[in-house]
């Protein structure tokens, strides 16, 4: 309840920041959330969001855990039960199961960019299996279907680079994107979100649906505050039982001691789901509020100072020449060609504080404008780069 209340306040606070420069240096993020009149919870969540949007994955986790980090212990009984579970590649399982589904709802923690990267990795496989529509809670409208990329005014969380890449990839593959966010809080918001999705579905019936949301909107069962979540209410409206996927519970925290005991026990290197002796998929201990499956994400490894999950077959390192950086600290932003002038969302961002910092961007194949800003956010360099 306390977390849900805090998230509601957080959303209201963010409305005031939506038109400001969203890409900030560490020192400025610290100053921005230093308001002593706000609660520690507010400062922690706001900082986590700002760090995430500015491409600072680890700092986002650390800020979140300042308030919500908890050490959890694993009982002997649970340890014995969990050792009987077999890890299965999560992406493969989802794509295989998607064939027999009509609606997939997958969630994210808003400060955890890796969730967007994983969701993006599903897109081509889902499209190949008949999924044509992608609903995004964060979208402010559907103009991305025309522009073919995310801009700063497309939504709030979509300002974050991995979210921008998620949107870009979906549009490139052929998905039609649609917004469904609703005003109001708690029960009213869940009802309205489900209705918005349902109304879209009535007018768009040429494929299956992927819905991307935050936290408990994807859960089924009985919610203490909302009675039913968006997922449950959408099921009532459509008569279709959605395939619901949680990414939040078993994702890494900033410190190993805060990780769920199950994550520490599995020690996986790729996202997995767990299959039991009866071939069923483990979906957590809560049977009143649940999702069909829970993804266990691996602990991040850092290569050249960047998260390993950002790399893929097509995404590779690009080392920024030291000659391109004249002042420190600097913010380096990489934009797909033509998007910077249209206030697009950068494909990647890094902060450089000294000449000794790791200067690696991670970029997909393509043409980019690399923009370098100083501590006053003045552009001090701009150059083109092709990633082959």
Query: Is 25 domain-assigned?
Result: yes
Q: Are residues 53 and 91 in the same domain?
A: no
Q: Is residue 308 part of a domain?
A: no
196 shares a domain with 104: yes
Is 180 inside a domain boundary? yes
Same domain, 230 and 271: yes
For residue 20, the model assigns a pLDDT of 80
Q: Is the pLDDT assigned to residue 28 strictly greater than 60?
A: yes
DSSP letters, 212-241, are: EEEGGGG-EE-BTTTBS-HHHHHHHHHS--
Residues 115 and 180 occupy one common structural domain: yes
Q: Would you state the pLDDT for residue 79? A: 80
Residues 6+ apart with CB under 8 A from 257: 71
Task: Return the minimum-mean-pLDDT range out of 35-44, 193-202, 209-218.
Answer: 35-44
Q: What mean pLDDT do residues 122-126 have?
A: 99
Q: Which of 270-279, 284-293, 377-386 has the highest mean pLDDT?
A: 377-386
19 — pLDDT class (breaks 50, 70, 90): low
**With contact defined as beta carbons under 8 Å apart, do 194 and 200 qualify?**
no
> 54-105: per-residue pLDDT in tens?
999 999 999 999 999 999 888 877 788 888 899 999 999 999 999 999 999 9
Q: Does residue 372 share a domain with residue 245?
A: no
Cα–Cα distance, 308 to 319 (Å, whole number) = 16
Instruction: Examine residue 377 and state whether it is found in any structural domain, yes or no.
Output: yes
| Residue that finishes a domain, picked among 235, 265, 294 | 294
Q: Is 386 exposed, middle or buried (0-12, 13-18, 19+ CB in 10 A)?
A: exposed
pLDDT in tens, 319-365: 999 999 999 999 999 999 999 999 999 999 999 999 999 999 999 99
Residue 278's pLDDT is 80
Are both 138 and 171 inside the same structural domain?
yes
Q: Three-state SS for 377?
A: coil
Look up residue 115 and give its two tokens: 């969730």
pLDDT above 70 as % of the chain: 95
**What pLDDT is recorded for position 82?**
86
Quick one: how far is CA 202 from the chain centroid?
28
Residues 236, 176 share a domain: yes
Q: Which two tokens stand for residue 273?
A: 């789901």
> Domain of 379: which CATH number?
2.60.40
**Number of domains the chain contains:** 3
Going by pLDDT thresholds of 50, 70 and 90, the confidence category of residue 307 is very high
Closest CA to 381 of 343, 340, 342: 340
**Residues 63 and 83 placed together within one structural domain of the fold:** no
Q: What is the pLDDT of residue 5?
A: 44
End-to-end CA distance of the chain: 49
Query: Is 281 part of a structural domain of the chain?
Result: yes
Predicted local distance difference test score (pLDDT) of residue 1: 44
Give a yes or no: residue 309 inside a domain.
Answer: no
Residue 26 shares a structural domain with residue 156: no
Q: What is the CATH number of the domain that holds 92?
A: 3.40.50
Residues 225 and 261 in one domain: yes
Q: Which domain holds residue 12?
A: 2-68
Is residue 52 located within the same domain as residue 140? Answer: no
- Which residue would you say has higher pLDDT here, 278 or 53? 53
pLDDT of residue 11: 53
Give the pLDDT score at 367.
98
- Please, which pLDDT band fits residue 203 given cuts at 50, 70 and 90? very high
Predicted confidence at residue 10, as pLDDT, reads 54
Does some domain include residue 73? no
Within-domain flag for 300: no
């Amino acid at each position: 309840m306390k977390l849900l209340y805090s998230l509601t306040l957080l959303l209201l606070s963010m409305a005031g920041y939506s038109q400001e420069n969203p890409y900030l240096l560490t020192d400025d993020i610290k100053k921005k959330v230093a308001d002593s009149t706000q609660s520690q919870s507010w400062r922690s969540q706001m900082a986590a969001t700002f760090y995430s949007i500015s491409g600072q994955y680890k700092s986002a986790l650390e800020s979140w855990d300042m308030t919500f980090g908890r050490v959890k212990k694993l009982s002997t009984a649970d340890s014995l039960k969990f050792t009987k579970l077999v890890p299965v590649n999560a992406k493969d399982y989802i794509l295989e199961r998607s064939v027999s589904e009509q609606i997939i709802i997958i969630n994210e923690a808003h400060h955890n960019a890796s969730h967007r990267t994983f969701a993006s990795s599903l897109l081509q496989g889902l499209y190949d299996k008949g999924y044509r529509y992608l609903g995004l809670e964060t979208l402010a409208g559907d103009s991305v279907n025309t522009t073919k990329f995310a801009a700063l005014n497309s939504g709030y969380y979509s300002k974050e680079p991995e979210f921008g890449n998620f949107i870009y990839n979906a549009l490139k593959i052929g998905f039609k994107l649609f917004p469904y966010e609703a005003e109001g809080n708690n029960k009213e918001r869940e009802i309205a979100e489900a209705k918005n999705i349902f109304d879209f579905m009535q007018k768009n019936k040429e494929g299956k649906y992927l819905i991307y949301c935050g936290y408990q909107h994807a859960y089924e069962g009985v919610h203490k505050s909302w009675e039913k979540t968006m997922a449950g209410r959408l099921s009532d409206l459509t008569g279709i039982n959605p395939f619901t996927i949680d990414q939040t519970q078993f994702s890494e925290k900033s410190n190993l001691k805060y990780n769920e005991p199950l994550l520490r026990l599995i020690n996986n290197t790729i996202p997995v789901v767990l299959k039991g002796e009866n071939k069923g998929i483990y979906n957590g201990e809560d049977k009143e509020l649940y999702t069909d499956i829970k993804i266990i994400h691996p602990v991040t490894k850092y290569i050249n100072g960047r998260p390993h999950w950002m790399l893929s077959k097509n995404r590779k390192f690009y080392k920024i020449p030291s000659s391109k950086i004249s002042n420190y600290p600097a913010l380096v932003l990489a934009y797909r060609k033509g998007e910077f002038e249209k206030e697009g969302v950068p494909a990647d961002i890094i902060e450089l504080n000294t000449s000794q910092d790791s200067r690696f961007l991670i970029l997909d194949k393509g043409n980019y404008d690399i923009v370098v800003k100083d501590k006053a956010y003045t552009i001090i360099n701009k150059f083109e780069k092709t990633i082959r």
